[in-house]
Amino acid sequence: MISKPKFKICRRLGPGVYDKCQTAKFVVAPKGKKGARPKALSEYGKALVEKQKVRFSYGITERQLSNYVGDAIKAKGAGAADKLYERLEARLDNVVYRMGLAHTRRLARQMVSHGHFIVNGKRTTVPSYETKAGDVITIREGSRGSVLFNNLGEKLKEYSAPVWLGFNVTKGEGSIKDKPKNVETFLDLNAVLEFYSR
């Protein structure tokens, strides 16, 4: 798990990296020395920034990201960038986050690690577990009374999950309908692939 000062990372990489950095506090925080002009980034520097955005957004290590990139490049058929996005989005912790059951990916990772979810009838405690279309993710019976899932119906009324996911509040059960489609606007996955192809 990556534990670093979030505001500092957001200043360097941009506001889309963490949800915490999309608040009013982040916007009004001082932006550094007055009159200091940022250096223009080289192509390598731009690709490095994009790679770091992906790493910090999904909360994964360098080795995990490099493995995902390697698998995406080897895969035949769809574009490598789409394949990489599918691999990142298919992580169990990310699916829990996208369903709206946790307000951050970090909390989703902790919930998965503590065994609050059952995937296709089996309790799973691995945040990087790769889900696929047709998988059913259920809140474990013993965890439903937890504070984490209090007022779940009210929380999810205001939340709109991606079209490739569905969640039934009364059953406490979610399903993956289809492969995730890349709709992120602030991540340049082609630059990430370019960084690793050097």
- pLDDT for 26 equals 55
Q: What is the mean pLDDT of residues 94-120?
A: 94
- pLDDT for 1 equals 47
Q: What is the mean pLDDT of residues 93-113?
A: 93
Q: What is the mean pLDDT of residues 89-103?
A: 94
Q: What is the mean pLDDT of residues 175-195?
A: 85
- pLDDT for 16 equals 63
By CB atoms closer than 10 A (0-12, 13-18, 19+), residue 88 is buried
Q: What is the mean pLDDT of residues 129-137?
A: 95
CA distance 157 to 31: 36
Q: Does the pLDDT value for residue 4 go beyond 70?
A: no
pLDDT-derived band of residue 186, with 50, 70 and 90 as boundaries?
Answer: confident
* Mean pLDDT estimate for the chain: 84
φ and ψ at residue 106, rounded to 5 degrees: -65, -45
Question: Comparing C-alpha atoms, which of 134, 99, 102 is closest to residue 120?
Answer: 134
Decide: 149 and 59 in contact? Cβ < 8 Å. Answer: no
Residue with the larger pLDDT of the pair 2 and 22:
22
Q: Which residues are within 8 A (CB) of 147 and not within 5 positions of it... i.e. 6 or more apart? A: none
pTM of this structure: 0.81
Decide: 195 and 48 in contact? Cβ < 8 Å. Answer: yes
- pLDDT for 31 equals 57
- The HSE-up count of residue 161 (CA atoms within 13 Å, CB side) is 25
What letter represents residue 120's amino acid? N
What is the signed CA dihedral for 68, 70, 76, 78, rounded to 10 degrees?
50
Q: What is the mean pLDDT of residues 174-178?
A: 93
Q: Which residues are within 8 A (CB) of 124 and not within 5 positions of it... i.e. 6 or more apart? A: 92, 112, 115, 117, 118
Residue with the larger pLDDT of the pair 75 and 176:
176
pLDDT-derived band of residue 116, with 50, 70 and 90 as boundaries?
Answer: very high
In the block, residue with structure tokens 């080289």: 42
**Range list of H helices, 14-138:** 24-28, 43-58, 62-74, 80-89, 92-98, 105-113
Q: For the chain, which domains are there? A: 6-29+40-88+184-196 (1.10.1050.10), 92-176 (3.10.290.10)
pLDDT digits (tens, 9 = 90+) for 5-25: 665 666 666 666 666 566 565
Q: Does the pLDDT value for residue 38 go beyond 90?
A: no
Q: What is the mean pLDDT of residues 113-126?
A: 95
